[in-house]
């Protein structure tokens, strides 16, 4: 599949910072310059889950605030969005160290994360992101593989993903339990590439969070950021995104699907 940027996305009239210098045609060229690869031949698209396929981040923010408060940890909405994409137990370890000055082991962090999961489960079911299902259908029919790479360890949400997204399979799924080192390190997306048997220059990553973007960039995949949350576009550019778009419909148009 050859990606050709859609001319309709080459300029915007809303003073948005979403598109670099108002143009997309140089994205692939800049990607090749960044990585040193000689070619870009996409064979797989690796999606993050929360904030990309599921509109779940508002619920995550509430669950984080409520659960961590029960352990004497102050975690704000901004903290939840800033740490999005990391393994939950890693986030908890860092916050406990910063606020309580103690190092906790994996078992205690998991116990605290289990409470966060419980709080999340008490909230209304998050909606599927607009155009998520249509985009995956178009990618599938274009002959590209689909893989999900999430820092989440919340099994009910992951099971829902498997049930409601026909093109998602357990064999093409990387969760917090599949890697030792989570985002922003490249390990999760490298694991996704391994599951799809593709190389970085054959891979597109679709992310929405700075830590996830950093992970995709570190894996040397072409990394598309979709800004579905409250952070400014600059946070995604600063994380190294190859392009920043507003939603999944624009991702589809960018990929000319």
pLDDT tens by residue, 130-154? 999 999 999 999 999 999 999 887 7
Ramachandran category for residue 105: left, alpha or beta (phi over 0 → left; psi -120 to 50 → alpha): beta
CATH 1.10.150.240 fits 57-121, yes or no: yes
Q: In the prediction, which pLDDT does 82 show? A: 83
Domain parsing of the chain, residue ranges: 7-55+127-254, 57-121
User: What b/e readout covers 171-191, taking b as 16+ CB neighbours within 10 angstroms?
Assistant: ebbbbbebbeebbbbbbbbbb
Q: In the prediction, which pLDDT does 23 show? A: 52
Q: In the prediction, which pLDDT does 19 show? A: 40
Residue 78 has pLDDT above 90, yes or no: no
**CATH for 7-55+127-254, options being 3.50.90.10, 3.80.30.20, 3.40.50.1000, 1.20.1250.20:** 3.40.50.1000
Cβ atoms of 169 and 162 closer than 8 Å: yes
Residues forming beta bridges with residue 44, ordered by sequence position: 145, 203
Instruction: Tell me the average pLDDT across 66-94.
Output: 91
CA distance 226 to 241: 10
pLDDT band at 8 (very low <50, low <70, confident <90, very high): very low
Q: In the prediction, which pLDDT does 25 show? A: 65
231 backbone dihedrals φ, ψ, rounded to 5°: -75, 150
Instruction: Tell me the average pLDDT across 7-15.
Output: 37
Residue 111 has pLDDT above 60, yes or no: yes
- Nearest by Cα to 180 from 168, 169, 188, 172: 188
Residue 20 has pLDDT above 50, yes or no: no
Q: In the prediction, which pLDDT does 257 show? A: 73
Query: What percent of the chain is modeled with pLDDT above 70?
Result: 90
Q: What is the mean pLDDT of the chain?
A: 88
Asked if the domains 7-55+127-254 and 57-121 are classified in one and the same CATH topology, the answer is no
């Amino acid at each position: 599949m050859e990606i050709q940027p859609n001319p309709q996305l080459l300029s915007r009239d809303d003073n948005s910072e979403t598109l670099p210098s108002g143009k997309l045609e140089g994205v692939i060229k800049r990607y090749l310059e960044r990585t040193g690869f000689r070619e870009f031949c996409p064979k797989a698209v690796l999606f993050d889950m929360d904030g990309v396929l599921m509109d779940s981040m508002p619920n995550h923010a509430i669950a984080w605030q409520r659960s961590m408060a029960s352990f004497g940890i102050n975690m704000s909405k901004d903290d939840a969005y800033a740490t999005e994409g990391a393994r939950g137990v890693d986030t908890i370890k860092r916050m406990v160290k910063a606020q309580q000055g103690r190092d906790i082991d994996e078992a205690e962090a998991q116990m605290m994360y289990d409470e966060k999961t419980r709080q999340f489960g008490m909230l209304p079911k998050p909606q599927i992101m607009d155009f998520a299902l249509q985009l995956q259908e178009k990618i599938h029919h274009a002959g590209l593989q689909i893989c999900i790479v999430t820092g989440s360890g919340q099994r009910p949400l992951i099971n829902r993903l498997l049930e409601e997204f026909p093109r998602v399979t357990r064999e093409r799924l990387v969760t917090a339990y599949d890697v030792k080192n989570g985002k922003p390190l490249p390990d999760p997306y490298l694991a996704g590439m391994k599951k799809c048997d593709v190389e970085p220059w054959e891979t597109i990553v679709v992310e929405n969070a700075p830590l996830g973007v950093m992970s995709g960039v570190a894996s040397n995949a072409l990394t598309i950021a979709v800004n579905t949350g409250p952070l400014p576009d600059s946070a995604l550019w600063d994380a190294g995104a190859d392009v920043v778009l507003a939603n999944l419909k624009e991702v589809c148009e960018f990929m000319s699907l």
